Structure 1
Amino acid sequence: MAQGIPDEVLMDTALMEELAEAAKDAAALHGVLMRIQETPNSTELVTYAPFTLFPTPVPKAVFLQALAVQTHYNTLVDKISQDPEFLQEALASTIEVDDFTARLFKIHQQILKEGRSQSIVLGLNRSDYMLDQRDDGSSSLKQIEINTFAASFGGLSSRTPDVHRRILQMAGRLEESQRILDNNPAAGLAGAVAKAWELYGSERNITTKRKRFGDVCKTGYLDQDKRLFVDGQEVAVVYFRNGYMPQNYLSEQTWDARLLMERSLAVKCPDISTHLAGTKKVQQVLARPGVLERFFPNQPQVVEQIRATFAGLYTLDMGPDGDKTVEMALADPDRYVLKPQREGGGNNIYGSEICQVLQRVKGTAERTAYILMDKIHPAPVKNYLLRRDAPLQIRNCLSELGVFGTYVRQGEDMVMNECVGHLLRTKNSEDSDGGVAAGVAVLDNPLLSVVMATEAFLQQLRTNPDRLNSLAEDAKELALSHGIITRTHETPNSSEVVTYFPVTLFPTPVPKAAFLQALAVQTHYNTLVDKISQDADFLEEALTRTIQADDFTARLFGIYRQVQQEGRAQSIVVGLNRSDYMLDQRDDGTVSLKQIEINTISAGGFGTTDHLPVVHRAVILFLVEDVQISKLTHRCMEKELWNRNIPVIRRRFEEVSRRASLGDDKKLFIDGLEVAVVYFRYGYMPDNYTEETWHARLLMERSLAVKCPDISTHLAGTKKVQQVLTRPGVLERFFPGQPQVVEQIRATFTGIYTLDMGPEGDQAVAMALAKPDKFVLKPQREGGGNNYFGEDIVRVLQEVKSEKRRAAYILMDRIRPRTDLNVLLRRGLPLKIASVCCELGICGAYVSDNEEEVVEENEDPSSLPQEEEDEQQQPDQAKWSTCRASAKAVGRDMPPFATGSHLAISACLFGLLLLPVFLLLFLLRAGLLGGLGSNLMAMTILEMEYTSCDALQGW
C-alpha cells in the first residue's frame, strides 16, 4: 500500500468530516465547480466538482519520467499521422471489422487521395499512465493509452492545488501542503491552438466559435480554395471536442461534416490521420519490436524512453499471433484488459467478460476490432472521494496519470512541441474502468517525493466520521468556490444547477522523478505525434488491419486518405496533446512511468465565459456535441482566447455539415465566418458521427483551417499506432540519429501487443486468455471506459480471437500502480476513505508550419530542485518550461513563464492550458503582434458528455 496521508489522520472521523466540509468550501472558493445534475444546462446552481479529500502519493521518479517522455510521444503521434503506409498496415485488420474505425479510415484515405489541403498540424494529446506495482514494491510507469482526440481535463487542474493545500494545512500537514505543485495546463493547450491559428494566416483578431457537427452540416462549406466556412465565416482551426465515438455521428450528414472539415484548409485538431494515430490498434502496433525505431531511426534513447512506458500489448488479428493472444487472455483473463477501438471511457473489458467476448469472436475476424493489453496493477491508496450527496467513506483508490502534450507542425517544420501539464485522476479500486466524465474517477493532485503515513491518517478519519464529513463538505465547497464544477446528469444541457467536479479529498503524492520524466518526454511525444501524422506510409501500415476491423478508425482513415489525395490545404499543424501515464510498481517498491495513451484529439476541457460571439472576425471553431452537460468545461480556454480578442464559436458536427463550406482556396467557412482553427472537442468516438457528420469532418480536414488535431494527428493517437510504436525500430523511424529521444519515449512504454491476425496476434491472444489479469484489452476508442480487464478480456477475445475484428483491439500489459489512501469526492458517492491509484496526464503542445517548428517546449527534470545537493542541475530554460511551477512549489525561484505552460497536477480539465497556443496561432495568423479584427475563426468540435467543468471566477 502506497503511503500518503498518515492512517491516524485518515481514521480520525471527526477530523475527516471537518476537513471534507472545509474542502468543499475551498473547492467552491477556488472555482472547483460544476453544474448540478438537476439542471446541467444552467449555471444558476452549481456544486463542487468531485475530488479526493487528500492528494495521492506518486513516486517522483516515474512522475518526472511521464513528463519527460511526452514530447517524444507528441513527435511519435505526429510521425504516425504522416505515415499512411504505417496506418494502413496497422489498421488494416481493424477496419475490416470495426465500422467506426473503417469510416474514419475512409475519410483518411479520401484525404490522402485528394491531398491534404492544410500543411499545419495541431496536436493536443494526453498520454495516460498507471503505476504498475512490482513484487518488490517498486512501481514502473506504464502507458494506458495516448489520447489524440479531445484529450480532456486541463482546466480544473489549475484549481484543485489550492484546495488540497488548504485541506492539508487544516489537517496539520504543512510540509505536504507546500509540496502541492502549481498547475495551469490550459494555457499551454490554448497556446498551441493560437499558434495554429496564427500560422493559418489570419490578419486580425481571433474569433472562437463552438459548433456541433450539425452546425457544420447546416452552414459549413468549402470555397474554391478549400477554406472552411461555417455560418458564413472562415474557420482557421477546428478543434474536435466531439467525434471520437460512433454515437457522435448520428447521421450521414455528420460524417459529411467531418469529411468537409478534414478536406478543408482549416487546421484540424486532430486531423483524421492523427485521430487514427491515437487508436488502440495503433497503440498495440507501436509495441511491436522495431516499430518505434521506424519513427525514431538512430534515436535509441528516445525509443527506449517511449518503450519503457509500454505495457504489454497484443494483437488479436487473425493468425498465429492473434491466436496466441486469445489463448493467453482466455487462460488468465485477470492479467489483461481487452480494448475495443473506442474512446471515451467505459469501453474496456475485464476478467470473465474478456473470456465471454473472446469466446464469441476468437474464431472470427471480429476479434481484430480489439487489442489485448497487460493489466496494470497499481498499488491502492486509502483516501476519501468527495462527491455531491455521497457519504464520506474511506476507500482503497487507484490513480491514473495523464500527461498533456501539444505540438504544431507546418509542413516539415515542427513549430511547437511541448509538455504542457498533467492531471491525476483517482477512483475506487473496485471500479474497473471509467473516468471522471463517466462518474467513476475524481480529480486529484500528485504529492511528489513525500513519504506520508496515509494508512494511519485515514484510519483516524475512519474512526471519526464527523470530521471526515466535515472535511468532505469543506472540500466540495472549496471546489465550488474555485470553479471546479460540472453540470448534472439530470439536466446536462442547462447550467441552472451545477455540482462540484469529482476530485480527491486530498492531493495524491506522485514520485518527483517520474513526474519530471513525463514532463521531459512530452515534447518528444509532441514530435512523435507530429511525425507520425506526417508519415502516411506508417499510418497506412500501422492501421491497415485495424481499419479492416474497426469501422470508426476506418472512417477516420478514409478522411485521412481523401485529404492526402487532395493535398493538405493547410501547412500549419497544431498539436494539443495529453500523454497519460500510470506508475507501474515493481516488486521492490520502485515505480516506472508507463504511458497509458496519448490523446491527440480533444485533449481538454474548459471553463465558462461572459463574452458574446463576434461574428465578423476570424474565429476558432470548437466542434461540440449536442448534449451540453460539459459546456462549462471548455469555457476556460475560450475565455483566455476572448481575453486576447480571439473569437471562438461552438458548432456541432451537424451544424458544420449543414452550414460549413470551403471556399475556392479551401478556406473553411461556417455561418459566413471564416474558421482559422478547428479544435475538435468531439469526434473521437464512433457515436460522435453520422453520415452527415462524417462529411463535416472531411470538410474540415480538407479545409485550410488549422485542425487540432488534423486527421493524421488523430490517427497518430490511435491505440493501434500506440501499439505499433512499441515495436523495435519504429521510434527510430521518427527520431533518426536521436537515440536519447527514442530512449526517453521507450522508457515510458509498457508492454503492448498486436492482435492482428497472424502468429504475433495469436500469441497475444493466447497470453491474454491464459492470464487476463496481466493485461488490458484496448479497443480503438478514446474517451475512457473502453478498455477490458480480467474476465472481460477473455470474453471479448473468445468472441474475436479467430476473426479479423480482433485487430480492432490491442493488448497492453496491465500497469500495477501503488495505491494510497484518499477520499474521492464525487456527487452522490458515499464519503469514505479508499485506496486509490492515480493516472498522470502530461499536456503537450506544438505548432509547426511547413515542417518548421514554431513552438515546441518541455521541462527538463533538472529544472526542479533535487533532493541531494550533488544532484542539482541547471535548468535548460529553452527546452523545459513546464516544470517552473513545480520548482516554485518546492521552494526554488524560477523565471516567469515564457509560454504560460506549466505543470498540471490534478485530474481535472484543461483550464488555461490552451491559452499560449491559441494566442500564438492568433498572432501568426494575423501576421503581427496586434489585434486588428479578422474574418477568420477557430472552431471547436466540442463533445459534451463530460459532467465536469471549469471555474466561473475570473470571467
Structure 2
Amino acid sequence: MHSLPYANYPPFISREQEEYVLSTIKDWSIQHGLTVRPSSSFVPGEVDKSGVLATTAPVTLFPSPFPESCFRQAHFLQTTYNELYAAISNDEVWIEEVMKGLIEVDDFIKNLWKVHQSVKEEGYVQQLSLGLFRSDYMLHAPSSHELPSLRQVEFNTISSSFGGLSALVTSLHTHLLTFTDPSAHLAYPNHPLFEAREAGSANSNSQALPSDATINVPPVNDAVQVLQTGLSAAHEAYASSKSEPKLPLCILFLVQDHERNIFDQLALSSTLKFPVFRLLTSQILSHTSIDPDNHLRPLVYTPPSSPATRFEVTTIYLRALYAPAEYTSAESWSARLHLERSAAIKCPGVLSQLAGCKKVQQVLTSISPDHVRRFLPNASQSTLSSLRSTFAPQYDLNPNSEGLAIALDESRAANHVLKPQREGGGNNIYRTAIPGFLKSLPSKEHYRSYILMELIHPPAEAKNTVLRSDGTVISGNVISELGVFGACLWRQGERTGDGATRSGFEILHNEGGGYLMRTKGKDSDEGGVAAGFSCLDSVLLY
C-alpha cells in the first residue's frame, strides 16, 4: 500500500496547466519573499554590480507524499534529540575523547579545539548556550515490500538554515491546493492525495479550513516561531547589561559576505521584538569590542551606520563560520576566539559545533558503551528505542576495523557513503568511489577524518517537478529529505574538580517544531539547497 502514493504521483499536468502553475509560483514567490540572491552562474556579477536582484528560490511544483507515522516520529523525537546534543555539548571530556583522533589529522577540528582551550584557560564567563538545531531524515524503503522507516542523515548544530523559506513553501503549496476555494482547487489536476484526510489526522492545517473543506494540505509549518522563540529565550535569559554604563541590548546574526540566502535569515530577524543586527564575518573585529577592564567581558557592537551608538550583544547566532574556507587567515581565527571568550550567548559555541561532527553521530550508534542512555538517563525505554531506530549503521575507519574493511572493498563499499567532519554539502564520497579516494589520501592516518555510513534507500518510485532559480523546469524521479527544527537553551553548570565534569547542567527551554523538506534529482547524491544540489518542498501526509 505504501507505494501507491508514489506510483501515480504527481498527477499528469498538461502544458497549459504547468504554465499556469509556474506563473503562479514565480509571482507568489516574489510577492512573499520566497527568494534568494541569484548565483553568479545565472546572473554574472558584472550584470548585478549593485546587488539589487533577487530570484525565486528553487521549489517543487507539488508537495511530496510523506507517511504520517514517520512525520509524527520525527517531530516527537526532536526535543529528545535537543536534550541529547545539549548534554553532549555539556561534557567537555567526552567530546575531547571523541575528537582526539580527529585533532591529530584535521586542522579545522584542531583549530576549533584550540579556541575552546584558550577560552577555558582564561575562564568562560557565559554558562548559557543556545542551540537552534535541525535533525535531517530520509525515508528508508530498501524494497517495495517494506513500509518506509525513518533514518537520520545528520544532526545540525550550526547554521541550521531554511526555517524561514520552508515555511513559505508550505504556504505556497497550500495556496495552490486551495485556489480558488478550499473545497474545489483549480491550480492542480485532481488526485486522491489531494482529498481531505480523516478527522484526527496530523494535518493541523485542516483545522484552519472551512468545515466543508475537501482538500488535503501540508501540515502547518511553525519553523519561524520555534526558532524565534529560542532566540527570544536566550535574549531574555541574558538579563541585563554587564557594561558600565549600561547599554541597550541586541542580538547579532553573524553572516557570510555575499550571502545568497539572506531572505531566509530576514524571515527570522525582521519580526523579533528587540534590536537585531547582521554582521559580516569579515567585520567582527572592526565592529565589536570587549572592554579589557571589564572582567565580565560583555561584547559591544557599534553599528557602522551610527558610530556614536553602542549595543551590548546578548546572543550571537552563527549563520556562518561552519566551513574551513571561511577561516581565510589568522585574523579569522582571532575573530572566532574573540566571540567565544565574550559574555554573549553563543548559538552555537565551539563545543556545540564540535558536537555536530559526523564522528559524534557515528559514536552514538554504539550499543556498548551505551552513550545515548548515558546522556539521556531520564528518557523512557520506548523513546530511546524510537530514537535508536533512526540510526543508520555507521563505522569508524580505525586500523583493522570492520568499517575500514568495508570501505576498502569496492563491492561492499557500494552500499555506503564516506563522510568528513564538514557542513554545507558537496563533501561526501559515495559507493565505489570510496576505496580509490581513501587510497589517494596522504597517509592512512587521515582515514580517521572520515566515518562510513550505510546508504539510506528512499522510495524508488517518488517523482516530482522542480522549478530551479534560473527558470529551468525538470521532472523525474526524486529523493526527499525531511528536517525538523528544534530550539534548546541550557546552562552548562559549574566545572568541578579537575574540570572533567560539570554540575548544575540545566535545560531552560526545549522545543521542537517546523520542518524543512528538500527534494533533489535521484541521481544527485548531495542535498544542500544553498550548495545548489536540491530545492525546497513541503509534504502531503498519507
Task: Please report the TM-score for the alignment, with normalisation by the length of structure 2.
Answer: 0.78
Determine if contact 1:58/1:446 at 8 Å carries over to the other structure: yes
Deviation at 1:332, TM superposition (A): 2.1
Matches within 5 A, 1:216-615: 216-223=284-291, 224=294, 225-231=296-302, 233-289=311-367, 290-297=370-377, 299=379, 300-327=381-408, 330-361=410-441, 364-380=444-460, 381-410=462-491, 411=493, 412-449=505-542
> Which residue pairs with 1:161 in the alignment?
170
Deviation at 1:102, TM superposition (A): 1.1
CA RMSD after TM alignment = 2.3
With over 3 angstroms needed to count, the CA separation of the structure-2 counterparts of 1:40 and 1:400, relative to structure 1, is: farther
Determine if contact 1:51/1:385 at 8 Å carries over to the other structure: yes
CA–CA distance in 2 between the matches of 1:420 and 1:338?
30
Amino acid at match of 1:52: T
Deviation at 1:84, TM superposition (A): 1.2
Matches within 5 A, 1:596-635: none
> Which residue pairs with 1:20 in the alignment?
22
Q: Secondary structure at the match of 1:137?
A: coil
Deviation at 1:42, TM superposition (A): 5.9
7-16 or 234-243, which deviates more:
7-16
Determine if contact 2:13/2:189 at 8 Å carries over to the other structure: no
Deviation at 1:242, TM superposition (A): 0.9
CA–CA distance in 2 between the matches of 1:407 and 1:218?
30
Q: Secondary structure at the match of 2:119?
A: helix
CA–CA distance in 2 between the matches of 1:332 and 1:325?
5
With over 3 angstroms needed to count, the CA separation of the structure-2 counterparts of 1:296 and 1:427, relative to structure 1, is: same
With over 3 angstroms needed to count, the CA separation of the structure-2 counterparts of 1:207 and 1:333, relative to structure 1, is: same
Amino acid at match of 1:201: A
Q: Deviations over 1:477-531 (max 9, x none)?
A: xxxxxxxxxxxxxxxxxxxxxxxxxxxxxxxxxxxxxxxxxxxxxxxxxxxxxxx
Q: Deviations over 1:162-212 (max 9, x none)?
A: 321333331144536532222231122121112111111136564322112
> Which residue pairs with 2:70 in the alignment?
62
With over 3 angstroms needed to count, the CA separation of the structure-2 counterparts of 1:212 and 1:28, relative to structure 1, is: closer
Q: Deviations over 1:816-853 (max 9, x none)?
A: xxxxxxxxxxxxxxxxxxxxxxxxxxxxxxxxxxxxxx
CA–CA distance in 2 between the matches of 1:293 and 1:319?
28
Q: Secondary structure at the match of 2:404?
A: helix
Within the alignment, does 1:118 sit opposite 2:126 as a pair?
A: yes
Q: Secondary structure at the match of 2:417?
A: strand
Deviation at 1:340, TM superposition (A): 0.7
> Which residue pairs with 1:149 in the alignment?
158
Q: Deviations over 1:323-356 (max 9, x none)?
A: 33534x5432221110011111111111232122
Determine if contact 2:152/2:392 at 8 Å carries over to the other structure: yes
Amino acid at match of 1:19: V
> Which residue pairs with 2:212 in the alignment?
none
CA–CA distance in 1 between the matches of 2:33 and 2:364?
40
> Which residue pairs with 2:105 in the alignment?
97
Amino acid at match of 1:230: Y
Deviation at 1:14, TM superposition (A): 3.6
Amino acid at match of 2:150: L
Q: Secondary structure at the match of 1:434?
A: coil
Matches within 5 A, 1:779-798: none
Q: Deviations over 1:380-411 (max 9, x none)?
A: 41111012444433211110000111011134
CA–CA distance in 2 between the matches of 1:40 and 1:71?
43
Instruction: Note the residue ranges of structure 1 that are not aligned, 5 or more in a row.
Output: 450-955
Determine if contact 2:11/2:189 at 8 Å carries over to the other structure: no
Determine if contact 2:406/2:413 at 8 Å carries over to the other structure: no
Determine if contact 1:52/1:444 at 8 Å carries over to the other structure: yes
Amino acid at match of 1:184: D
Q: Deviations over 1:656-702 (max 9, x none)?
A: xxxxxxxxxxxxxxxxxxxxxxxxxxxxxxxxxxxxxxxxxxxxxxx
Q: Secondary structure at the match of 2:373?
A: coil
Q: Secondary structure at the match of 1:292?
A: helix
> Which residue pairs with 1:3 in the alignment?
5
Determine if contact 2:520/2:533 at 8 Å carries over to the other structure: yes
2:195 to 161, 166, 175: 175
Deviation at 1:32, TM superposition (A): 1.9
Amino acid at match of 1:208: V
Deviation at 1:71, TM superposition (A): 0.6
With over 3 angstroms needed to count, the CA separation of the structure-2 counterparts of 1:3 and 1:286, relative to structure 1, is: same
Within the alignment, does 1:82 sit opposite 2:162 as a pair?
A: no
Amino acid at match of 1:294: R
Determine if contact 2:12/2:189 at 8 Å carries over to the other structure: no
**RCO (CA 8 Å, sep 6+): is it higher in 1 or 2?**
1
CA–CA distance in 2 between the matches of 1:7 and 1:192?
37
With over 3 angstroms needed to count, the CA separation of the structure-2 counterparts of 1:42 and 1:332, relative to structure 1, is: farther
CA–CA distance in 2 between the matches of 1:276 and 1:96?
15
CA–CA distance in 2 between the matches of 1:389 and 1:260?
40
Q: Secondary structure at the match of 1:191?
A: helix
Amino acid at match of 1:332: R
CA–CA distance in 2 between the matches of 1:348 and 1:116?
35
Determine if contact 1:53/1:167 at 8 Å carries over to the other structure: no
Q: Secondary structure at the match of 1:3?
A: helix
Amino acid at match of 1:186: V
Amino acid at match of 1:166: H
Determine if contact 1:213/1:258 at 8 Å carries over to the other structure: no
Determine if contact 1:180/1:446 at 8 Å carries over to the other structure: yes
Deviation at 1:53, TM superposition (A): 0.5
With over 3 angstroms needed to count, the CA separation of the structure-2 counterparts of 1:43 and 1:296, relative to structure 1, is: same
Amino acid at match of 2:114: K
CA–CA distance in 2 between the matches of 1:134 and 1:279?
27
Amino acid at match of 1:277: A
Q: Deviations over 1:82-113 (max 9, x none)?
A: 11121011111111111101111122233333
Q: Secondary structure at the match of 2:489?
A: strand
With over 3 angstroms needed to count, the CA separation of the structure-2 counterparts of 1:190 and 1:291, relative to structure 1, is: same
Greater gyration radius: 2
> Which residue pairs with 1:663 in the alignment?
none
Determine if contact 1:330/1:355 at 8 Å carries over to the other structure: yes
Q: Deviations over 1:215-274 (max 9, x none)?
A: 222343323322222335422211111111001111111101111111111100001110
Amino acid at match of 1:275: Q
Q: Secondary structure at the match of 1:261?
A: helix
Determine if contact 1:316/1:325 at 8 Å carries over to the other structure: no
CA–CA distance in 1 between the matches of 2:119 and 2:398?
26
Amino acid at match of 1:393: I
Count of residue pairs the alignment pairs up? 448
Q: Secondary structure at the match of 1:430?
A: coil
Determine if contact 2:78/2:512 at 8 Å carries over to the other structure: yes
48-57 or 216-225, which deviates more:
216-225
Amino acid at match of 2:539: P
Q: Deviations over 1:783-833 (max 9, x none)?
A: xxxxxxxxxxxxxxxxxxxxxxxxxxxxxxxxxxxxxxxxxxxxxxxxxxx
Determine if contact 2:64/2:540 at 8 Å carries over to the other structure: yes
Deviation at 1:427, TM superposition (A): 0.6
CA–CA distance in 2 between the matches of 1:85 and 1:388?
45
Identity %: 38
CA–CA distance in 2 between the matches of 1:8 and 1:372?
34
